[in-house]
Amino acid sequence: MAKNDILGESLWDAYSNKVTTLMNNPQHQGEITEDEAAGHGNKLIVADFGAESCGDAVRLYWEIDPESDKIVNSKFKSFGCGTAIASSDVMTELCIGKTVQEAVKITNIDVEMALRDDPETPAVPPQKMHCSVMAYDVIKKAAGLYMGVDSESFEEEIIVCECARVSLGTLQEVIKLNDLTTVAQITDYTKAGGFCKSCIKPGGHEAREHYLVYIHADTRKQMDEEKMATAADAGATGNFEAMTLVQQIKAIDAVIDDSVRQFLVMDGGDMEVIDIKNSDEYVDVYIRYLGACSSCSSSATGTLYAIESTLKEKLSNNIRVLPL
């Protein structure tokens, strides 16, 4: 099959040489019959999976040694595009020699990485990542048939990004731990949304149950509520000094967000808390000015006084604010 028979010239460079080679010359395409498997004293598993988003489908054959659960032979039939053929071929190869329990741990990223010419260059364009996801899903289907369980039981978490196999819990944790403020940062940290992009927002390649834009907004809202609750507790108890360092930072950030930051942003600036040091007499809060505030003459006088006064009023009279 010539390359122009498969896809347009403009997309050709987005495919690895391995992908284009396997499109034309798959190594494991075919079928295994019941008689063949039985003749070897093995069990045959046949699993089908179809992707609603593109109409592609794959049938996976496993010949399994029932005593060791090892997949001694595997074949596939693919009903779809050339990328689906290449992904299915590599998926089938990765299964051979593994036990069923080991094979179910193969992910779509393993399939895509095996199709790369070099580790740093994706094997397929983003809109074709779903083909490797389909390969991953048919493995789960086959394993479920062999083990007598629902294939969904292999998923322990809610997967938001099928392409990068990133869960909802992981996304929420990364946003909180790294204080991520944009969806682009989420992609940088986790790779979620970096391939087919369907999970970023509604209207993409295929409909999703969860989207990064909503997860980010909900998590940021929760973070803000936690900050405000911490600040409120600090003000109510008057015991800011007794808080842990993390609690102190959250309390200060909450006050800054509620009473200070909007005024800095209006003038093209901002600030961030760098460190907090507690002594017998003071709680020293070290800050860094950002944007226009870093060069403003009032950053060491009026602005500094306003920040310190607000923190003293809301949290503790022992706070000193020191710019770096």
Report the DSSP pairing between strands 283-291 and 319-323. Answer: parallel
Residue that is last in its domain, among 105, 126, 156: 156
**Pair of tokens at residue 248:** 């102190």
Q: Which residues of the chain have pLDDT under 70?
A: 1-12, 51-55, 126-127, 130, 153, 155-156, 230-238
Q: Are residues 133 and 76 in the same domain?
A: yes
Which residue has tokens 């074949």?
Answer: 75
Four-point Cα dihedral 11, 14, 19, 21, nearest 10:
70
Q: Are residues 125 and 46 in the same domain?
A: yes
User: Is residue 138 domain-resident?
Assistant: yes
Tell me the torsion sign for CA atoms 293, 297, 299, 305: negative
**Pair of tokens at residue 181:** 């403020």
Q: Are residues 136 and 83 in the same domain?
A: yes
Q: Catalytic residue at 54?
A: yes
272-294 tens-digit pLDDT: 999 999 888 889 999 999 988 88
Q: Catalytic residue at 196?
A: no
Q: State how many domains the chain has.
A: 3
Q: Are residues 191 and 89 in the same domain?
A: no
81-109 tens-digit pLDDT: 888 899 999 999 999 999 999 998 888 77
User: Is residue 285 domain-resident?
Assistant: yes
Name the 3-class secondary structure at 273: strand
Q: Are residues 132 and 166 in the same domain?
A: no
Torsions phi, psi of 47, nearest 5? -125, 140
User: For position 231, what pLDDT does the model report?
Assistant: 66
- The DSSP secondary structure of 81-141, one letter per residue, reads -HHHHHHHHHHHHHHTTSBHHHHTT--HHHHHHHT-SSTTS-SS-GGGTHHHHHHHHHHHH
Which residue has tokens 């860094």?
Answer: 288
Q: Are residues 255 and 289 in the same domain?
A: yes
Give which of 135, 73, 81, 76 is closest to 108, Cα–Cα: 135
Give which of 161, 188, 194 is closest to 175, Cα–Cα: 188
Q: Are residues 191 and 134 in the same domain?
A: no
Residue that is last in its domain, among 102, 121, 156: 156
What is the rounded distance in angstroms from the CA atom of residue 323 to the CA atom of residue 316?
Answer: 18
User: Is residue 131 domain-resident?
Assistant: yes
54, 95, 196, 293: the catalytic one is 54
What is the rounded distance in angstroms from the CA atom of residue 141 to the CA atom of residue 157?
Answer: 17
Burial class (CB in 10 A: 0-12, 13-18, 19+), 216: buried
95, 131, 161, 196: the catalytic one is 131
Q: Are residues 185 and 274 in the same domain?
A: no
User: Is residue 212 domain-resident?
Assistant: yes
Q: Are residues 16 and 138 in the same domain?
A: yes
User: Is residue 122 domain-resident?
Assistant: yes
Burial class (CB in 10 A: 0-12, 13-18, 19+), 179: exposed
User: Is residue 228 domain-resident?
Assistant: no
Q: Are residues 7 and 29 in the same domain?
A: yes
Q: Are residues 132 and 21 in the same domain?
A: yes
User: Is residue 177 domain-resident?
Assistant: yes
Residue that is last in its domain, among 135, 156, 177: 156
Residue range of the domain that includes 308: 238-323
User: For position 56, what pLDDT does the model report?
Assistant: 78
Total-model pTM: 0.54
Give which of 308, 320, 317, 322 is closest to 235, Cα–Cα: 317
- Domain CATH code at residue 279: 3.30.300.130
User: Is residue 201 domain-resident?
Assistant: yes
Segments of the chain assigned E as strands: 43-50, 57-65, 70-79, 159-161, 166-167, 269-278, 283-291, 319-323
- Domain CATH code at residue 123: 3.90.1010.10
User: For position 5, what pLDDT does the model report?
Assistant: 44
Q: Are residues 178 and 35 in the same domain?
A: no
